[in-house]
DNA sequence: CGTCATAGTTCAATGACCGAACCGACGCTA
DNA sequence: TAGCGTCGGTTCGGTCATTGAACTATGACG
């Protein structure tokens, strides 16, 4: 996206879009909510040129949305994890998920409240418990009968129900 | 944005971003919620190249987010209005507004529930009435003490409190 | 020590974005 | 009705972002 900024826009939406409005950025954040943490896993799941992925990850780290932490299992490598500020992007991700599922293409996954198993309403609330669970209290699972189109290692792991934010192992 | 699409992504978020993920698009939708309806008003308020604005408006009309309707006051001209599907983007706009206001730059405006005057919570609910008002039930007003940076006709009109979705006259 | 996987960087080609200039339709004024 | 201004665009050359492929550096494995 040419000109990443909206300098002449005096508005917090423009401010948010400067951080997450570039191509691919919100899909990277989505994957981070799914538990993706390694460069190669993002790359395999997103089919994104490595140069762009590298640029976006650096930008997200600079903006405090992801943190680059040393990988305890592999010296010299990093993991990318959502910061608190990044986790607060959940309502953005969820509202796009709901709108896209309704108006563009059906969701491949459904979200349930981990404590009671209820499917989330469109507004992101669990109507049984009367709360709006954070992503850490949600289980994402494949919609029944859904035929997955992708076959990379991350997609394979995500075929099983999975608690959001829990790191995935490929 | 090169390759506007995310064909290889099997996900409703990617679907949503194909419609509203390009540069400027969500700011155009934001202005539509503020009641902007004319080409020149979008252009003046956004400082966007006309060619890009034209392209984005066509895309939004094609995707059923805006409707191009004849302007009753001026033969041969059009107005761009949010469709029902476009209005359902409100949670996306609101969540970006909240996140950006908290993490990037303070909001220039505040939102109040028209029926009772209460400021909206971060989750978009009116805690007094216990409902999540749609944009048509919201009043947007300038934050007290806020120094506006822009001086185009649309910004001038929006200095007064304004009900969302109500057409503005410049 | 050689091979592999990971995590990048570099590069040329292509496509998107930008600002300025241009253009046709309509409205207003004299 | 001739002339001018506004609105809503389109066209254009230059600049910047994205792409896919090739290359590199580091550590793990055997």
**Least CB-CB distance to B19: which of A21, A89, A104?**
A104
Mean pLDDT of B25-42: 98
Q: Average of pLDDT values for B140-155? A: 90
DSSP B106: -
pLDDT grade, residue B7 (50/70/90)? confident
For A131, the 3-state DSSP assignment is: strand
Minimum-distance CB partner of B92 among A92, A104, A149: A92
Q: For position B1, what pLDDT does the model report?
A: 43
Confidence of residue A3 (pLDDT cuts 50, 70, 90): low
Write the burial class of residue B145 (CB in 10 Å: 0-12 exposed, 13-18 middle, 19+ buried).
exposed
Q: CA A119, C1' D6: Å apart? A: 54
CA nearest to nucleotide D12 C1': residue: B51
> Is the CB of A148 less than 8 angstroms away from the CB of B98?
no
How many residues in total does chain B contain?
170
Residue B144 clears pLDDT 60, i.e. is over it: yes
In this complex, do A26 and B9 lie within 8 Å of one another by their Cβ atoms?
Answer: no
Which residues fall within 8 angstroms of residue A77, CB to CB, at 6 or more apart?
Answer: A38, A70, A71
Give the closest of A19, A93, A132 to B104, CB-based.
A19
Cβ contact, residue pair A23, B11, below 8 Å = no
At B3, the pLDDT band (50, 70, 90 cuts) reads low
Scan residues 102-121 of A and list those with Cβ closer than 8 Å to B: 102-108
Nucleotide nearest to A73 (CA to C1'): D28
CA gap A21, A89 in Å, rounded: 12
Determine the distance between A49 (CA) and C7 (C1') in angstroms: 13
Tell whether the model's pLDDT for residue A107 goes beyond 80: yes
b/e string for B64-102 if b means 16 or more Cβ within 10 A?
ebbbeeeeeeeeeebbbbbbebbbbbbbbbbbbbbbbbb
Residues of A in contact with B46 (CB under 8 A): 9
Global pTM?
Answer: 0.96
Q: Is the pLDDT of residue B2 over 80?
A: no
**Could you report the per-residue pLDDT of A30-48, keeping only the tens digit for each?**
999 999 999 999 999 999 9
Residue A4: pLDDT band by 50, 70, 90 thresholds?
A: confident
Tell me which nucleotides of strand D come within 7 A of a protein CB: 7-12, 15-22, 26-28
pLDDT in tens, B87-97: 999 999 999 99
In whole angstroms, what is the distance from residue A62 CA to residue A45 CA? Answer: 23
Residues B107-135: pLDDT tens digits? 989 999 999 999 999 999 999 999 999 99
Mean of the per-residue pLDDT values of chain A: 94
Q: Does the structure show a pLDDT above 60 at A169? A: yes
pLDDT tops 90 at residue B149: no
Give A76 to chain B, closest Cα distance, Å: 30
Residue ranges of B 151-170 with Cβ closer than 8 A to chain A: 155
Of A11, A26, A149, the CB nearest to B17: A26
pLDDT at position A2 over 70:
no
pLDDT interval class at B32 (50, 70, 90):
very high
Amino acid A41 CA to nucleotide D26 C1' distance, rounded Å: 19
């Amino acid at each position: 996206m040419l000109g990443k900024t909206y300098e002449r826009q005096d508005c917090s939406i423009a401010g948010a879009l400067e951080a997450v409005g570039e191509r691919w950025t919100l899909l990277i954040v989505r994957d981070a909510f799914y538990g993706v943490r390694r460069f190669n896993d993002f790359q395999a799941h997103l089919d994104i040129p490595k140069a762009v992925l590298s640029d976006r990850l650096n930008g997200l780290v600079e903006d405090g949305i992801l943190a680059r932490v040393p990988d305890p299992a592999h010296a010299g490598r990093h993991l990318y994890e959502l910061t608190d500020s990044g986790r607060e992007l959940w309502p953005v991700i969820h509202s796009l998920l709901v709108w896209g599922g309704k108006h563009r293409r059906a969701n491949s996954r459904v979200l349930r409240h981990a404590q009671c198993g209820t499917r989330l309403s469109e507004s992101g609330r669990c109507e049984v418990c009367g709360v709006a669970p954070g992503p850490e209290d949600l289980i994402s699972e494949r919609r029944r009968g859904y035929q997955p189109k992708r076959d990379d290692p991350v997609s394979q792991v995500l075929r099983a129900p999975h608690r959001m934010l829990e790191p995935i192992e490929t």
